[in-house]
Each structure stands twice: as structure tokens, then as C-alpha cells.
């Protein structure tokens, strides 16, 4: 069995298995290979097609977008169940850690130095990257 990545005249890509390369040639010349998306019979091997490179490049570009969406979802979920204390975050996080105040979930901002001090003191914090869209 041999697997080919194929592409129709409309640019749809799909993969198909053949018994051998000769079997592919026979089916292709008989017009028996049909694009599953548009039923086009003008199908060929897509390995050398220039838009294959473009498509794989686009997929790489999608990865940061997917990551940003994931981070945004997590940030939203956390924000829904926490109190925004803004730049009093280091102070409030300490009070909660040392049980000086009611235990609750908070969110806010801390400078890198403040965040490092909190971690060194054993205060459990989670850093989320600030997203460009959130500053608008
Ligand atoms: Zn097609």
C-alpha cells in the first residue's frame, strides 16, 4: 500500500491509499480518482504544488492565535470567580497567604519584582500574560 497526498483542480487536498504507484497511475488515467469535496476528476499528486507550502505556513501562523485564545479563556474563567484588586495585588495576596483576611480568589497586577518576592515567600500566584487586546 502506498499513500499519496492528492489535490484536485480546485485546490482541495486529500490523501488516498493505492496498492502501488502503478495502481495510482492506472486509476488516475482512467479518471477514477475523485475529489471528495467537489467531485472533480482532475486530480493529481500535490507534492510539488506551490500552495502546499503556503498552507503549511498558514497553519504555523495559527498556533499563536490558538494559544492566545486559550489564555484568554483561562483568564476569563479566573476573572469570573475572583475579585479584582488591581495594583494592591501583592499586598492582598500576602494578607490572604498569612490569613490576615478572609480567604478568597483575587486577581490584579504585580511588577516582576513583586511577583518574584511573593513566590519566594511561598505565596501561590499564577502569572498570566497581558494580552494586547485587554489593554484597550
Ligand atoms: Zn476538489
pLDDT score at 59: 54
What's the 40 CA to ligand 1 centre distance in angstroms?
Answer: 5
What's the 43 CA to ligand 1 centre distance in angstroms?
Answer: 8
Other CB atoms within 10 A of residue 108 CB: 17
Strand order in the sheet with 13-18: 13-18, 2-8, 43-45
Distance separating alpha carbons of residues 88 and 109, to the nearest angstrom: 8
Could you tell me the pLDDT band of residue 51, with boundaries at 50, 70 and 90?
very low
What's the 126 CA to ligand 1 centre distance in angstroms?
Answer: 47
The pLDDT tens digits of the residues spanning 53-109 come to 445 455 555 667 777 787 778 777 777 888 889 999 999 999 999 999 988 888 888
Q: Given its phi and psi angles, is residue 86 left (phi above 0), alpha (psi -120 to 50 degrees) or beta?
A: left
What's the 26 CA to ligand 1 centre distance in angstroms?
Answer: 20
Question: What grid cell was written down for 126?
Answer: 499564577
Q: What is the mean pLDDT of the chain?
A: 81
What's the 1 CA to ligand 1 centre distance in angstroms?
Answer: 23
What's the 6 CA to ligand 1 centre distance in angstroms?
Answer: 10
Prediction pTM value: 0.43
Give Cβ neighbours of residue 42 (< 8 Å, ≥ 6 apart). Answer: 8, 9
Whether 125 shows a pLDDT value over 80: the answer reads yes
What's the 28 CA to ligand 1 centre distance in angstroms?
Answer: 15
DSSP-derived 3-state class of residue 19: coil
What DSSP character marks residue 38? T
- Cell 479566573 identifies what position? 78
Domain ranges of the chain: 2-48, 81-127
Other CB atoms within 10 A of residue 35 CB: 19
What's the 42 CA to ligand 1 centre distance in angstroms?
Answer: 8
Nearest to 47 by CA among 5, 17, 95: 5
Amino acid at each position: 500500500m502506498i499513500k499519496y497526498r492528492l489535490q484536485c483542480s480546485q485546490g482541495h487536498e486529500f490523501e488516498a491509499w493505492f496498492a502501488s504507484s502503478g495502481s495510482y497511475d492506472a486509476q488516475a488515467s482512467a479518471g477514477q480518482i475523485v475529489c471528495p469535496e467537489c467531485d472533480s476528476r482532475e486530480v493529481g499528486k500535490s507534492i510539488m504544488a506551490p500552495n502546499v507550502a503556503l498552507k503549511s505556513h498558514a497553519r504555523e501562523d495559527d498556533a499563536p492565535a490558538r494559544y492566545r485564545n486559550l489564555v484568554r479563556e483561562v483568564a476569563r474563567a479566573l476573572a469570573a470567580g475572583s475579585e479584582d484588586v488591581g495594583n494592591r495585588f501583592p499586598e492582598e495576596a500576602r494578607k490572604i497567604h498569612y490569613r490576615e483576611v478572609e480567604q478568597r480568589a483575587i486577581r490584579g497586577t504585580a511588577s516582576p519584582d513583586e511577583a518574584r518576592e511573593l513566590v519566594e515567600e511561598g505565596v501561590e500566584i499564577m502569572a498570566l500574560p497581558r494580552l494586547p487586546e485587554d489593554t484597550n
